[in-house]
């Protein structure tokens, strides 16, 4: 068995384009590999973001654990928030996405200090045709809100845990 020494949660990992935010267990497509969730720098945060201007169901944007798949579905449906995040090139990395509801909850538990405590953050997880899940970081509250409300959005990306070995 290989031992991996991980950095502290919240540590800036410049080579990965952001901060070490959380560990996702069995996050590989086949459920076999653990990944680290990297949170983009605050300068990449999108303020006053609207999940969607329309009250329509976005097929494939309802996973509570797979933000990457949700973001791809949102972008394919023409949603500007997802397209804006997918267009990012931060630190040479272009695989950024809007985190799913469970990913945001994990970040709320491990690195709430990286987020603005006075605002809510959008997840990529659709609740219904009218709403999507969002997360507060001051108290850890999460719930669904109207898709046309304005909240913050913070891009994330996944990397294999062994690449964080310090």
pLDDT at 146 over 60: yes
End-to-end CA distance of the chain: 17
pLDDT at 32 over 70: no
Confidence of residue 27 (pLDDT cuts 50, 70, 90): low
SS (H, E, C) the chain: CCCCCCCCCCCEEHHHCEEEEEEECCCCCCCCCCEEEEEECHHHCEEEEECCCCCCCCCCCCCCCCHHHHHHHHHHCCCHHHHHHHCCCECCECCCECCCHHHHHHHHHHCHHHCCCCCEEEEEEECCCCEEEEEECCCCCEEEEECCCEEEECCEEEEEHHHHCC
> What is the residue-averaged pLDDT of the chain?
93
pLDDT at 20 over 90: yes
* Pairing relationship of beta strands 35-40 and 131-136 according to DSSP bridges: unpaired
Quote the pLDDT of residue 96.
Answer: 98
Q: Which residue has the higher pLDDT, 166 or 95?
A: 95
What does the domain layout of the chain look like in residue ranges? Answer: 42-155
pLDDT at 110 over 60: yes
Q: Which residues 6+ apart lie within 8 Å of 105 measured at CB?
A: 135, 140, 142
pLDDT at 162 over 90: no
What average pLDDT score do residues 35-39 get? 95
């Amino acid at each position: 068995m290989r031992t991996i020494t991980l950095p502290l949660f919240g540590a800036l990992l410049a080579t990965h384009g952001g901060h070490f935010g959380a560990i996702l267990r069995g996050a590989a497509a086949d459920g076999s590999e653990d990944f680290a969730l990297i949170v983009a720098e605050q300068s990449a945060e999108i303020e006053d973001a609207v999940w969607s201007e329309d009250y329509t169901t976005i097929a494939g944007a309802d996973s509570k654990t797979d933000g990457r798949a949700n973001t791809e579905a949102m972008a394919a449906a023409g949603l500007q928030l997802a397209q804006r995040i997918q267009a990012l090139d931060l630190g040479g990395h272009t695989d950024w996405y809007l985190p799913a509801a469970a990913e945001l909850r994990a970040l709320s538990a491990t690195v709430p200090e990286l987020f603005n405590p006075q605002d809510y953050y959008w997840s990529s997880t659709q609740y219904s045709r009218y709403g999507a899940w969002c997360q507060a970081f001051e108290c850890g509250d999460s719930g669904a809100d109207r898709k046309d409300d304005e909240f913050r959005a913070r891009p994330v990306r996944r990397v294999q845990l062994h690449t964080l070995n310090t």
